Amino acid sequence: MKPMIQESLREAAEKLHEYRSNPSNLEDIERAAAVFSNALAQGHKVISCGNGGSLCDATHFAEELTGRYRKNRRPLPAVAINDPAYITCTANDFSFDEIFSRYVEGVGQAGDVLLAISTSGNSENVVKAAEAAKAKGMSVVGFTCASDNALRRLSDVAVCAPVSDYSDRVQEIHIKAIHIIIQLIEHKLNPSK
C-alpha cells in the first residue's frame, strides 16, 4: 500500500509543479480574483455550478464567501446551484442538461459572475450554464483543464489545470486555485484587515 500512496503523492506534486511553472496560470488566478472582487464590490453576486466533486468545490467557494475564509468580514453574496429539489425538478421536467442554465436564467443578472467548473470542460449542463450567463450579461470564470474545450472557450477567464488521465488531479489544482482566489478576494475587499 505504501508504494501506491507514495506514487499518488508524487503524481500530485508533479501536476502542481507543472501548474506553478507556467506564469500564465498565476495570471489567470489573479484575473479570476479580480473579476470576482470587482463584481462583489459593485453589489453583484456569484453563482457557482459543477457536477459531482466539482459541485462540492463550487459549493465550497460559495460558502467561504458567504461565511468566512481566513478573516472576519462582511458576508459576500454567493450561491451554489446545489438544491436537490430544484435539480431533480428541472431534470425531470426539462433535462439534466438544463439544471444549471435555467437557474442562471432565473436568478442571474447582468454584472453577476458565474463560476462554472468542469474537469473536462465539456459537461453539457455546465457549458449551457456558461452560455446562459453570457446571454444575461454575466462574466464567466471557468475552472477546467488545459485542453481545447467548450467551457474554456466560453470563459472570460479560464483557470486550467494540467491535463491528466484522471479528474482527481484536475480537481486538486482547482481547489488550490479556489482557496487562493478567496484569499485574494478577502485581501482586495478588506485591505486594512
Joined together, the cell numbers standing for residue 160 give 486550467
Burial 101-126 (b: 16+ CB within 10 A, else e): bbbbeeebeeebbbbbbbbbbebbbb
Radius of gyration of the chain (CA): 16
pLDDT of residue 73 exceeding 80, the answer is yes
pLDDT per position as a tens digit, 123-154: 999 999 999 999 999 999 999 999 999 999 99
* Distance separating alpha carbons of residues 176 and 172, to the nearest angstrom: 6
Strand positions, DSSP E, 27-117: 46-49, 78-80, 113-117
Most distant CA atoms of the chain, gap in Å: 51
Share of the chain above pLDDT 70, in %: 98
Summarize the confidence of residues 78-89 as an average pLDDT.
98
Q: Which of 139, 59, 150 has its CA nearest to residue 97?
A: 150
The dihedral of CA 18, 124, 132, 108: what is its sign? negative
Summarize the confidence of residues 116-123 as an average pLDDT.
98
Residue type present at position 3: P
pTM (2 d.p.)? 0.96
How many CB atoms sit inside 10 A of residue 167's CB? 17
* Whole-number pLDDT of residue 71: 83
Residue type present at position 178: I
pLDDT of residue 43 exceeding 80, the answer is yes
